[in-house]
Amino acid sequence: MRFNLISTMTVLAAVAVAAPSGGSHKQKRTDGTCNGTSCRVGFENYECNLGSCVGEGGGDGTFCTVLDLQDGTRRTYCPVGCPDPGLC
């Protein structure tokens, strides 16, 4: 019985140590659409930080993304010239 208890405690401790922490990778992703030269999410327009909504592949209604990072900064990815196709 004592062996089973010790084995169980060891396994649980190993699992707790191996669990990833939230860390600084938390971010809130919000999808929007291009509205003129900005990315519109709901009733708010956000200036494009990375890429643009103007040019070939852009235009009103084109997909864009706003990321609110844990450190309080915001990045807006727009489709024309976007460095990360997964976010544009």
User: Based on the structure, what is the number of domains in the chain?
Assistant: 1
Residue 57 lies in a domain: yes
Structure-block tokens of residue 13: 């401790």
d(CA 18, CA 25): 17
State residue 20's pLDDT score. Answer: 47
Tell me which residue range forms the domain holding 56: 26-87
The structure's pTM equals 0.68
d(CA 62, CA 52): 11
Residue 16 lies in a domain: no
State residue 58's pLDDT score. Answer: 95
d(CA 58, CA 4): 63
pLDDT string in tens for the chain (88-residue length) = 555 555 555 545 544 444 444 455 578 999 999 999 999 999 999 999 999 999 999 999 999 999 999 999 999 999 999 998 888 8
d(CA 53, CA 11): 52
Max CA separation in the chain (angstroms) = 72
Residue 18 lies in a domain: no
State residue 18's pLDDT score. Answer: 46
Count other Cβ atoms within 10 Å, centred on residue 47. 11
